[in-house]
Every structure is written in structure tokens, then in C-alpha cells.
Amino acid sequence: MPTLHRTLRLQWEEAQQAWVLLYPEGMVTLNESAAAILRRCDGSRTLDMLIDELQGAYRIEGIAAEVHAFVKHAFERGWLA
Amino acid sequence: MRPGPPLWLLAELTYRCPLHCAFCSNPVDYARHGAELGTAQWLDVLAQARALGAVQLGLSGGEPLMRKDLEAIVAHARRLGFYINLITSGVGLTDERLGALRAAGLDHIQLSFQDSTRELNDFLSSTRTFELKQRVARMIKAHGYPMVMNCVLHRHNLPHVGAIIEMALEMGAEYLELANTQYYGWAWRNRLALMPDAAQLREAEAVVERYRQRIGSRCRILFVVPDYFETRPKKCMNGWGTTFLGVAPDGTALPCHAARMLPGLSLPNVADMPLRDIWFDSEAFNRYRGTAWMKGACQSCDEKEADAGGCRCQAWQLTGDADATDPVCDRSDHHDRVRAIVAQGRLAAVLSQGRVERGREAPLLFRTDANSLRLSEP
């Protein structure tokens, strides 16, 4: 169950009209899909549940490969634990 | 085009500091600056900056723990939604204050060390603080904060980079900032006593690279080659007036930490002008915004967007013209001045036989109130 790393904070920034990831002395501005995934990485869902939920919420299908790739990237960047 | 919001607010809460580091980035004349902003004024600055869009907050100094209202400032910043970084020497950071700051919403602590050895740590800061810093590092981790360990590098501790990395790993730091000295303020005064040589930098970089391969993401190591050893300038502050907004202890608003040294730059004060006007409309924050201000060599350069002309303070210090091309750039007519300082530093190192305390050629000048007053006599 992917979980945001405890040293990171994810929040909506009105001035940037975007979700951002905050960490010591740094910030990443997220695009919509990255934010949609990371907001659901709270340790309460498996990756499969997360994908189902996204497909339901956005009424799309076949996004599993993209989500897997992004989650892999997020682990490598140290965003997920 | 209207500039974006300031994303990074650096609040230099005070210039008071229990340390006397010879490479301090505070202005040399700090002892003659006006009174510190009061609590209510800082809270107002934070609220204004947040409304503009600032989200990263650095609480710095001097030593921010010298302010008794630090916990109140942190609590207010957290309510506003800032991500809050405390940048500290660790002196004054008790278990009780760590707990109170955590409860107030402090996100992260950056703790400075001067070296991996007690001898050099204490010599360079002119204090006995090495053991204290180690105790503080353990307390920071016990309270569950993410920790950045910061160590300023120069020719005396560059050979210790491996031991410094080991120390950071042992302390459980998530990040290690190996910050090569930038030559402004006190460090500029001490440049010949601190300047490394190219071989030292290459070796240190190789050590860093070996550790990176070995430790992966457990601790992220930042190591940036200092300007004087480059042939292209850095995009200072990510571009003037694009990202960074500093506020000095007396309320002076700064487009970069060192901007106070620039001649004829009338810096606005938060006590006199709303932050929004300072950021968008003041002459100081607009002077070097974009590329229109650039002169000859920079104006026609195909890389001008990439480095935004480099550092204005460096241009002023080394050429006497704040509008000139940053002399770090080898397209500058003054690049030889950078090379000359590096060469003079090598000579000073040879003459002192590498012993910092024997620097007859270039004795270290410590950051003290007395030195500040003496060096800035009107």
C-alpha cells in the first residue's frame, strides 16, 4: 500500500493553482494526474484499489500501466515509502 | 510580463549568533544595522508573503533560536500553510524547545556543522560546540524531524568530506548539504584563507560520487562546485525577483541575501511598504529582473536565459560594476580576476603549510561584533 514518505507534505496551492509536494528546502509542482495518484497514496489502499478508484473517478480505463510507471518513479524519487 | 509569486521566503530573524564563523554570509557591517522587527511585524510579514503565494519558509539568522518568540512565529506560519525550515547552529536547541517547535508545526531542521573533527569545528566557529551539535542531532532525530546536515566546505575541510558524510549517515540525516563556501560577506574577507584548489574539489566530488552510488536514497548528498572553479555563472537565486524573497532582521527586503552590498540599490523595508508592492513594483526587485538590463556580452549571449546573467554581487565585488557580466563566465573580460583569486589562495595555502591557524599571509577574521564595528567604521 503506497504511502507518501513521512518527510513530505502534499498541499493545494491557490497561487499556483496546483498541488505541490513540499520537502526540506524544496518543492515539486505536480501535474493533475500525478496529484490524483499521490493524493491517494495514504497507506489505506493497495495499488490495484487505487487504480480502480481513479478509473471510476475519471471515467477512464486502461491506465494501470501509466500508474505503475508513475508509482515506480515516485518510489525512486523517494516520494513514496 | 508580470512576474510570478515569490515561492521561497527567507526570514532572517536576527543577526545575533553564538557562533563566530569565518565564512558567515551575514553582512560584515551587521553590528550597525537597525533594530530587529518585533513579533507582530514578523507575523504580518508571514501573512503577507503567504497571501502572495510563498510556501517555503526558511527561518534563519544569525541564530533564530536567539528569538524567544520563535515558537509563536512557527505556530503562525504553520496556520498559514507554510512548509517551515529551521536553519540553525543547534546552540539553544533543548529537548523542551524541540518539543514545543514540533507542536507548533515546525517541519524540518537544518543543522550546521563546521567539520567532522572537534578541532576544526571549534576553531572555525571560534566556539566549543562540536559535542553540543552531536547531542542536538540525536535529539532532533528522537523528535522525529527530517534533518538536513549542512557543512560549509573550504580548503581546510574538503579533505574530510568522506568523514563528514560518515557523520551525517551515523546521525541519520535525510539530506547532507555540502555547501562550498560562497565568497560574500565574511567569507569574502577570508577568501585567501579559505579558497580550495581544483584538485581538492575534484577529489571531494569523487568521494561524494562513490558514496552516492553506495547509499542510494538513504541520504541525499548535495554538492555544488563553487563558482570560482566554473566557466559559466550560476542562475543566482533562480533569477532576480523570480522566486526568492529575503527579509533581514531590520525588515529590509532582499532579492538575494547579499544584495545589500550593491551600490545605489535602494532596498525597501517591510515597515514602509506592503510586501506585494515590494515584490512587484519596487525599483530594487525590478532592477535585474528578466534580461533587458543586461549589457553587451550578456545581451547578445545565447545562454542569457539559462543563467540570467549570474550573480550581481559577484560582478560588483570583482569588477566594480554591478551591471557587468558575472566574471565567473569565461566570456567576461574580467574572468582573469577570478583565476587570480584562486591562484592567490593556492599561494596562501602553501605559505601557511595548509595549517589554518598559521595563516600569516591570510589570517582568519572571525565574525564578531567587535570586528563588525571595526571593519565598518564610517
Q: Look at residues B2, B3, B17, B35 and name the one whose alpha carbon lies nearest to residue B237.
A: B3
Stretch A51-70: mean pLDDT, rounded?
93
B8 contacts B237 by C-beta, under 8 angstroms: no
Other CB atoms within a 10 A radius of the CB of residue B132 amount to 16
Residue with cell 547552529: B89
Which residue of chain A is at minimal alpha-carbon distance from B8? Answer: A25
pLDDT score recorded for residue B242 = 95
CA distance B352 to chain A (A): 37
Q: Look at residues B293, B302, B283 and name the one whose alpha carbon lies nearest to residue B322.
A: B293
pLDDT tens-digit profile of B29-40?
999 998 999 999
Contact at CB, B53 and A14, closer than 8 angstroms = yes
pLDDT score recorded for residue B335 = 96
pLDDT score recorded for residue B361 = 60
A4 contacts A38 by C-beta, under 8 angstroms: yes
Give me the sign of the Cα torsion angle A49, A55, A61, A62: negative
pLDDT score recorded for residue A7 = 84
DSSP state of B269: B
pLDDT score recorded for residue A80 = 92
pLDDT score recorded for residue B357 = 65
Q: Look at residues B326, B299, B324 and name the one whose alpha carbon lies nearest to residue B232.
A: B326
| Residues of chain B neighbouring A27 (CB-CB closer than 8 A) | 7, 55-56, 83
| Residues of chain A neighbouring B52 (CB-CB closer than 8 A) | 15
Output the pTM of the full model.
0.94
Q: Which stretches of chain B score pLDDT less than 50?
A: none
Give me the sign of the Cα torsion angle B194, B215, A22, B307: positive
How many angstroms separate the CA atoms of A37 and A29, rounded? 14
